[in-house]
């Protein structure tokens, strides 16, 4: 069974600064997808970024980028130029061949002025 | 395009009472998911529908939980009777297909069982 571990319960960052969230996972599969979701207080889960395991190039979406280390089974998210609207819970998720999403416990990001 | 709609947003009930949650997925999405999110944790899948067929309900506590997706569109998740441990956020999501398609989530229903 796959497991997803987020070891940082909470991260605080000042506006315009950069914060990096860590995520590790365990799987025996070779082809899979990894995701970062954002959940603001409104509770709606929003997809931030996705990474296909077969792609060596790290995914980037505007201020969000990932560092995917397949051999180490590590998938960190970097938020650059942090904005107050980035305050939310961030969940790392894994999807393997069965298609089922497995989420980590989440990291609360707080952006301060 | 309208997103996934869920109702109610909040529900407070006493234990042993029944409760139902409703979900309307994005138009044209064949796959529908119900997740439960306990406080301080990530969502966990309860059941997945492909059109009107429940194809993955291995995590659904079948003694008290039931779900249906009539006509392959709207879905209802029911708990009867509710227990204190059922307090959680219940999220509905939908996607065009299953394996490679993005899941879009609704705002969830926060259930409190007293």
- What does the pLDDT average to over A77-96? 96
CB contact under 8 A, A105 and B41: yes
Tens of pLDDT, residue by residue over B75-106, are: 999 999 999 999 999 999 999 987 768 899 99
> How does the average pLDDT of chain A come out, rounded?
94
* Contact yes or no for B93 and A50 at CB 8 A: no
The residue ranges of every structural domain in chain B are 16-103
Please give the DSSP secondary-structure letter assigned to residue B87.
-
Mean pLDDT of chain B: 93
A105 CB neighbours in chain B (<8 A) are: 40-42
Q: In B73-97, which positions are buried (b, 16+ CB within 10 angstroms) versus exposed (e)? A: bebebebeebeeebbbbbbbbbbee
CATH topology of domain B16-103: Immunoglobulin-like (2.60.40)
Contacting residues of B for A96, CB less than 8 Å apart: none
Indicate if the pLDDT at residue B1 is higher than 70. Answer: no
* Domain A3-112 CATH (choose: 3.40.630.30, 3.40.50.150, 3.40.1000.10, 2.60.40.10): 2.60.40.10
What is the spatial distance between Cα B66 and Cα B72, in angstroms, rounded to a whole number? 16
Tokens matching residue B91: 């999220």
CB-based contact, B91 to chain A, within 8 Å: yes
DSSP-derived secondary structure letter, A31: S
CB B49 within 8 A of CB B55: yes
Beta-carbon contacts below 8 Å between A and B:
43
Domain definitions of chain A by residue range? 3-112
**Residue B44 belongs to what H/E stretch?**
strand B44-50
């Amino acid at each position: 069974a796959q497991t997803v571990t987020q070891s940082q319960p909470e991260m605080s960052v000042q506006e315009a600064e950069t914060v990096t969230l860590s995520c590790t996972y365990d799987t025996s599969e070779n082809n899979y997808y990894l995701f970062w979701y954002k959940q603001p207080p409104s509770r709606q889960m929003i997809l931030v970024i996705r990474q296909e395991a077969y792609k060596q190039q790290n995914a980037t979406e505007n201020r969000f980028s990932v560092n995917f280390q397949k051999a180490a089974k590590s998938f960190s998210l970097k938020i650059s130029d942090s904005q107050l609207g980035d305050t939310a819970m961030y969940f790392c998720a894994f999807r393997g061949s069965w298609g089922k999403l497995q989420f980590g416990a989440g990291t609360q990001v707080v952006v301060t002025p | 395009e309208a997103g996934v709609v869920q109702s109610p947003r909040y529900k407070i009930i006493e234990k042993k009472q029944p409760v139902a949650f409703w979900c309307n997925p994005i138009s044209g999405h064949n796959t529908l998911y119900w997740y439960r999110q306990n406080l301080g944790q990530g969502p966990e899948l309860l059941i997945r529908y492909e059109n009107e067929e429940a194809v993955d309900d291995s995590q659904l506590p079948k003694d008290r939980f039931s779900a249906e997706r009539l006509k392959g569109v709207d879905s209802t998740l029911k708990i009867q009777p509710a227990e204190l441990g059922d307090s959680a956020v219940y999220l509905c999501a939908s996607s065009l297909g299953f394996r490679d398609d993005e899941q879009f989530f609704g705002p969830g229903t926060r259930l409190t069982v007293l």
